A and B are shown apart, each in its own frame.
Chain A
Amino acid sequence: MSVPLGYYLVLGAVLFAIGLCGALTRKNAISVLMSIEIMFNAAILNFVVFWYYLHNGALTGQMFALFAIAVAAAESAVGLALVIAVYRHYKGVNVDEMRSLKG
């Protein structure tokens, strides 16, 4: 009980910001994917912390965190598969070169 709730929230916010920063700036698609994972983890950390401080006793937060981890794993698998498909198509993983999604 020594570490207050705010510390954790700040950690989560910092993690999220780092992830967002990576996702917005990195040119390598795999790095972008990794940054998104960091943002995920920030969100999961918030789940666990809020559960621990506010709803301790019920298993809801833990369950939600576990689900989120499983979903994140599936998401990264799909993401990697997409990256491979993109690599085959564009002969590279530079996100700047993937510009066909435009009007």
Chain B
Amino acid sequence: MNELVKQQWLIPFFPLVAAAVQSLLPRGARKLSAGICLTAMGASCLLALRAFIGTLGHHETGRAVWNFTWFDYGTTQLQLGFILDPLTAAMALMVAFVGFWIFVNATGYMHEDENFTRFFCFMSLFAAAMLGLVVANNLLLLFICWELVGLCSYLLIGFWYFKPSAAAAMKKAFITTRIGDIGFFLGLLMLYWQAGTLNLYDSGNGALEQAGKLAGMPGWFGWSMATTIAVLLFLGAMGKSAQFPLHVWLPDAMEGPTPVSALIHAATMVAAGVFMVGRMFTLFAADASGLALNIVMWVGCFTALFSATIAVAQFDIKRVLAYSTCSQLGFMMMALGAGGLVPGQFHLLAHAFFKALLFLGSGCVIIGTHHEQDMRRMGGLKKYMPITFWCYLIGMLALAGVPPFAGFFSKDEVLLVTFQRSKLAWGLATFAAFLTAFYMTRQMFMVFAGKWRGHHEPHEVRWNMWLPVAVLSAFAIGLGFFGGKYGHFLGLHEEGHDGKWLVMGLSVAVGAVGIVLGWLVYGRKAMEHAEEPDPLAAKLGVLFTWLNRKWYVDEFYDATVIRATMLLGELWRAFDKRVIDGILHGIAWTAWGVSQVVRWVGDEFLINGGFDAGCESVRLSGRELAKLQGGRIQGYLRVLCLGAVILLVIWYLK
């Protein structure tokens, strides 16, 4: 394990090299580009697998770290480092493995795009940054990679930048996550200030190993220092993992190509916030008051419910999944906040598989239906796309939490740990789980059941698109059984089984109710025409409109934060124009006036006059002397001979 950790850097290194090479490839080199990309990801995947296997036998000993000095300044050193522990090993394997299959799918999805190489360049860079984030043992390195994945997300959401909606979405994603990142950065600085290091583990001197000390120090708002830093860091996680109120960017991020949505905005990058909270869990849990964890739990709980309600009333196939992702990320945060590192991280892993599966499946649907995304204009795809249908069904059942699929086990653990912490949060989350089952059933019926309501006949996609979906569905079925082992693997043994059967029973029951209700509303009588109103709209009335418009959060932001920012900008612009520019212009005019006086008295009269007189005399003498040079060659020769004679005479007389 100590040897393996020294090779951790290789895991992100391969995709990084691939990205560098691909940035130089010409546009036409599609096969080469895809080949390089897949090879690099495959290599990373194998390395991650080796690290994972290496960790399996040693999980009792905990972790291995390898720190090195990046550079010195003054007497201090700035260190970076890599880590190998079960948390990293499992996450890195998931990222590399899911990433590999998404890349395979992307070769099909981006088949007709002329900027194929650019796409894979960005995707490779993303994979490198994400893997770097996972293997980092240093908050600075983590932050660098954190920003890099944000950059890649920005570039890939706006991959089709000629679409105004995509260009707007990329800016929105970047700016919204940046708001959270300010918190992250402040937290990072405070941690460095207080702990003197950004290494997470450093044989007793690491920042996380000082968490107990930080918990005893006073911070802001009467909180302890540990809580202050944790809350600041959590702000970053809220931006990245799309937690309310910074969730608005994630649904808009669906403007990017679907493999991007699958890889970045469902499986890995958005989970980075959850992963980071998991990584810094010691710090979050350091304070006995549990304030930081409570904040995490309630933000997660609220997001889980809030996003699930919105997902019920969306018509875009990808937007339903996007809000579902927000909601599931809320579940993970809630579990972490309830003190359950294992359920939170396990739900992250399981969710990555089945949500990537669902997104890739929706990508297959979009390609199969000739770039149709509105579920009202789909229907009956079960007949046309059988493979996609079966895989999608597995993903849907996993997300809805039906046993024995992966989502059942992970969500059950999440609910259980929340139940033990707070009954109210558990109740809300259970309701969110019910909504999850309902909106996924709604989506299944709208997309795959009934009859085809679109224009062109849909078709099944090529093998390189459905194969990854099929592989991921195998994991969506099987991964759940490793839940217990995962807790053991992380070296944590969850305490208490109070209410285990109650929680599990209720979770299955609400899932079943959700599915049955979905069938009652959408399955019994399939939609006939694309223009038909949603059956739920009649029952919910104005509430449906509110849900469909996402509780008007965007409009609210437009009216408040954005309007206020614009007004403030206008104000400062006016201030700049009137006051600052006024002062500057005043100074400039004064200086100009003084210079005019100096110019007329000193410059024009004395200096210029003197120079002009000198120049005139030089010019006159030149004009006189130029007459000698008349241009007659014989004249020159005459002077030359005269000179020679004079020299001769002088020589002779001497």
| Chain A residues packing against B (C-beta within 8 Å) | 20, 23-25, 32, 95-96, 98-103
B632 at the interface (CB under 8 A from A): yes
**A23–B631 contact, CB under 8 A?**
no
- Closest Cβ–Cβ distance, residue A27 to chain B (whole Å): 9
User: Given that A20-B641, A24-B641 are known contacts, is A102 also in contact with B630, CB under 8 Å in the complex?
Assistant: yes
- Closest Cβ–Cβ distance, residue A9 to chain B (whole Å): 15
Q: Which residue of B lies closest to A23 (CB)?
A: B637
- Closest Cβ–Cβ distance, residue A103 to chain B (whole Å): 4
Contacts of B630 in A (CB 8 A): 99, 102
Q: Which residue of B lies closest to A98 (CB)?
A: B633
> Given the complex of chains A and B, what is the CA–CA distance between A95 and B638 in angstroms?
14
> Given the complex of chains A and B, what is the CA–CA distance between A23 and B638 in angstroms?
9
Q: 1/0 per residue B619-635: CB within 8 Å of A?
A: 00000011001111110
**B641–A102 contact, CB under 8 A?**
no
> Given the complex of chains A and B, what is the CA–CA distance between A22 and B249 in angstroms?
99
Q: Which of B629, B632, B638, B641 has the most CB of A within 10 A?
A: B632
**B638–A102 contact, CB under 8 A?**
no
Contacts of B631 in A (CB 8 A): 98-102
Chain B contact residue count (CB 8 A cutoff): 12
A-B contact pairs, 30 of them (CB 8 A): A20-B641, A23-B634, A23-B637, A24-B634, A24-B637, A24-B638, A24-B641, A25-B634, A32-B634, A95-B632, A95-B633, A95-B634, A96-B632, A96-B634, A98-B631, A98-B633, A99-B630, A99-B631, A99-B632, A100-B631, A101-B631, A101-B633, A101-B636, A102-B626, A102-B629, A102-B630, A102-B631, A103-B625, A103-B626, A103-B629
Question: By DSSP majority rule, is chain B's interface helix, strand, loop, or mixed?
Answer: helix
| Chain B residues packing against A (C-beta within 8 Å) | 625-626, 629-634, 636-638, 641
Contacts of B641 in A (CB 8 A): 20, 24
Q: Which residue of A lies closest to B638 (CB)?
A: A24
Contacts of A102 in B (CB 8 A): 626, 629-631
- Closest Cβ–Cβ distance, residue B480 to chain A (whole Å): 99
Contacts of A98 in B (CB 8 A): 631, 633
Q: Which of A25, A96, A101, A102 has the most CB of B within 10 A?
A: A102
Contacts of A99 in B (CB 8 A): 630-632
- Closest Cβ–Cβ distance, residue A41 to chain B (whole Å): 18
A23-B637, A95-B634, A96-B632 given; 19 more Cβ-contact pairs under 8 Å: A20-B641, A24-B634, A24-B638, A25-B634, A32-B634, A95-B632, A95-B633, A96-B634, A98-B631, A98-B633, A99-B630, A99-B631, A101-B631, A101-B633, A101-B636, A102-B629, A103-B625, A103-B626, A103-B629
Contacts of B638 in A (CB 8 A): 24
- Closest Cβ–Cβ distance, residue B282 to chain A (whole Å): 90
> Given the complex of chains A and B, what is the CA–CA distance between A78 and B649 in angstroms?
34
> Given the complex of chains A and B, what is the CA–CA distance between A91 and B257 in angstroms?
79
Q: Which residue of A lies closest to B623 (CB)?
A: A103
Q: Which residue of A lies closest to B627 (CB)?
A: A103
Q: Which residue of B lies closest to A96 (CB)?
A: B632
Q: Which residue of B lies closest to A102 (CB)?
A: B631
> Given the complex of chains A and B, what is the CA–CA distance between A55 and B251 in angstroms?
109
Contacts of A96 in B (CB 8 A): 632, 634
Contacts of B626 in A (CB 8 A): 102-103
> Given the complex of chains A and B, what is the CA–CA distance between A25 and B634 in angstroms?
7
Contacts of A101 in B (CB 8 A): 631, 633, 636
Contacts of B625 in A (CB 8 A): 103
Q: Which residue of B lies closest to A26 (CB)?
A: B634
5 tightest A-B contacts by CB? A102-B631, A99-B631, A103-B629, A103-B626, A102-B629
Contacts of A100 in B (CB 8 A): 631
Contacts of B634 in A (CB 8 A): 23-25, 32, 95-96
> Given the complex of chains A and B, what is the CA–CA distance between A103 and B625 in angstroms?
9
- Closest Cβ–Cβ distance, residue B515 to chain A (whole Å): 103
> Given the complex of chains A and B, what is the CA–CA distance between A99 and B629 in angstroms?
10
Contacts of B637 in A (CB 8 A): 23-24
> Given the complex of chains A and B, what is the CA–CA distance between A73 and B41 in angstroms?
82
- Closest Cβ–Cβ distance, residue A4 to chain B (whole Å): 22
Contacts of A24 in B (CB 8 A): 634, 637-638, 641
Q: Which residue of A lies closest to B628 (CB)?
A: A103
> Given the complex of chains A and B, what is the CA–CA distance between A102 and B634 in angstroms?
12
Contacts of A25 in B (CB 8 A): 634
- Closest Cβ–Cβ distance, residue A39 to chain B (whole Å): 11
> Given the complex of chains A and B, what is the CA–CA distance between A32 and B636 in angstroms?
14
> Given the complex of chains A and B, what is the CA–CA distance between A101 and B629 in angstroms?
8
> Given the complex of chains A and B, what is the CA–CA distance between A101 and B634 in angstroms?
11
- Closest Cβ–Cβ distance, residue A102 to chain B (whole Å): 3
> Given the complex of chains A and B, what is the CA–CA distance between A32 and B626 in angstroms?
25
> Given the complex of chains A and B, what is the CA–CA distance between A99 and B633 in angstroms?
8
Q: Which residue of A lies closest to B629 (CB)?
A: A103
Q: Which residue of A lies closest to B625 (CB)?
A: A103
Q: Which residue of A lies closest to B634 (CB)?
A: A24
> Given the complex of chains A and B, what is the CA–CA distance between A32 and B638 in angstroms?
13
- Closest Cβ–Cβ distance, residue A91 to chain B (whole Å): 18
> Given the complex of chains A and B, what is the CA–CA distance between A103 and B630 in angstroms?
7
- Closest Cβ–Cβ distance, residue B208 to chain A (whole Å): 86
> Given the complex of chains A and B, what is the CA–CA distance between A102 and B632 in angstroms?
8
Contacts of A103 in B (CB 8 A): 625-626, 629
- Closest Cβ–Cβ distance, residue B637 to chain A (whole Å): 6
Contacts of A32 in B (CB 8 A): 634
> Given the complex of chains A and B, what is the CA–CA distance between A95 and B631 in angstroms?
10
> Given the complex of chains A and B, what is the CA–CA distance between A103 and B632 in angstroms?
11
Q: Which residue of B lies closest to A27 (CB)?
A: B634
Contacts of B632 in A (CB 8 A): 95-96, 99
> Given the complex of chains A and B, what is the CA–CA distance between A83 and B357 in angstroms?
92
- Closest Cβ–Cβ distance, residue A96 to chain B (whole Å): 6
- Closest Cβ–Cβ distance, residue A45 to chain B (whole Å): 19
